[in-house]
Structure 1
Amino acid sequence: MTLLAYQVFQTVVEQGSFRKASEILNLTPSAVSHAVTSMEQELGFPLFTRKKSGIALTNYGEKLLPYINAILNGQESFKQAVAQLNGLQQGLVKIGCFSSVCTNWIPD
C-alpha cells in the first residue's frame, strides 16, 4: 500500500463519499474507487459498506483509521522536520472567508 492509498482512504472517510473525496484529491471517482478496492484486496477485508444511500466504514475500517491517521500525521511531521533542517519554515495555513470573496480572490 502507498501513502496515496492511505490519503484516499482518509479523505473518503472525512468526506463520506468517493465522489467528494475525488474532487478534493483531484482524482477521478473511479481512481478513488480503485484505490480503495486495491486496499481492500490487499488487506483481505472490506473497509466500507457501499449502499445506494452512501458509504459507511466497516468495523475493520474503523479499527484501521487511527493507524492510517498516525501514518499520515507522521509523514507530515517528517516533511516539516526536513524543511526545518533545510532552514525553511513549513506548516499548514487555513484561510476562512465568505464564498463571494473566495470565488473572486482565492484561486482553486
Structure 2
Amino acid sequence: MDDVELPKVDKQEIEYWTEHEVQKFMANLKSKNHALPIILALATGMRRGEILGLRWSKIGFENKALSVTHQVKKDENGVWHLSPQLKTAPSYRTIKLDEDTIDI
C-alpha cells in the first residue's frame, strides 16, 4: 500500500457572505411569507429536512432555544416522511436562538 499514489484533490475556495450581505438579504426577506425557514437556516445552521421536521413543541420561547429531534426526508420511493432519525448522533441538539430569531 505504500506504493499507491493517491489522486490529488483540487480544493475549491468557498465564498461566504459578509455580515453586510446577510443583513441586506434578511431585511429584504422579512417581508416575504417564506422568510421563516430561510431565516432559521441562516441563524441556526439547520438543514432543510431538520427545519421541515421542527415542531412547535420543540421551540422554547422562554429559554430562547429549540431542540432538533426530527427531520423530513424522502424514502426509497420518493415519498416524504417525518422521521425521528437524524443524519448523525450530534445532529440531535439544542440550539440557542437570538432575540431577532425569536421575534420572527
TM-score interval for Structure 1 and Structure 2 normalised by the shorter chain: under 0.3
Please identify which structure carries the higher helix content.
1
Structure with higher Rg: it is: 2
- TM-score in terms of structure 2 length: 0.24
Which structure has more strand as a fraction of its residues? 2
